[in-house]
Amino acid sequence: MADCIFCRIAAGQEPCVRVWETDRVLAFLDIAPVHYGHTLVIPKAHYDTLLDLPDELWLEMGRVCRRVAQALREALFARGFNIGMNNFEAAGQVVFHAHLHVIPRFLSDGLHFFPQGRYLPGDMEKVGQRLREALAREGA
Ligand code: AMP
Ligand code: ZN
């Protein structure tokens, strides 16, 4: 897609700090890192979200994430890492070219990504039931 920043990066038409690539996947540094080394893993071809990605490509992105994560531990002494993916506007997706964030983490770095809550009595089982029904309909 001509107007997609990540397509332009994948095509070499926009600069990026590349860290790894395969024929179909590119890993490069996020321009606004949570921590130094925060890396984005993208398919070179355009897909809007995870729901559009072919299974094989999703698997390859996962493999690249794992290599990048290992490199973050070795080269930048990250003690852990988060893999994140924002899908659709409600989840904070800004660039609609599917991408995974690999975020290096350090002990006591003070980051808490998601505040957690509690179910009201009985709701947990109802929510599980609705999801099971949807999954059965999809044949997933
Ligand atoms: P999101 O769609 O919310 O997952 O966020 C998109 C991510 O892409 C943000 O973390 C941005 O900092 C990053 N980003 C946007 N443009 C560039 C760019 N030209 N080079 C590197 N990272 C970018
Ligand atoms: Zn794109």
Q: Give the 3-state secondary structure of residue 54.
A: coil
Write out the chain's pLDDT in tens, 140 residues: 879 999 999 999 999 999 999 999 999 999 999 999 999 999 999 999 999 999 999 999 999 999 999 999 999 999 999 999 999 999 999 999 999 999 999 999 999 988 999 999 999 999 999 999 999 998 75
Task: Write the residue with the smallest CA distance to atom 3 of ligand 1.
Answer: 93
Residue 138: the pLDDT is 87
Residue 113: the pLDDT is 86
Q: Tell me the whole-structure pTM to 2 decimals.
A: 0.96
CA–CA distances in Å: residue 97 to residues 16, 27, 65: 15, 13, 16
Residue 140: the pLDDT is 56
Using CA atoms of 136, 92, 29, 3 in order, give the dihedral in degrees to the nearest 10: 90
Domain boundaries, the chain: 5-113
Integer Cα distance of 100 and 24 in angstroms:
14
In angstroms and rounded to an integer, the radius of gyration of the C-alpha atoms of the chain is: 17
Q: Which CATH architecture has domain 5-113?
A: 2-Layer Sandwich (3.30)
Q: What ligand is nearest to the CA atom of residue 101?
A: 1
Determine which one of 46, 99, 101, 112 is catalytic: 99
Residue 99 among the catalytic residues: yes
**Beta-sheet strands, E only, within the chain:** 18-21, 25-29, 39-43, 80-84, 100-105
Residue 110: the pLDDT is 93
Q: Measured from the CA of 38, which atom of ligand 1 is nearest?
A: 10
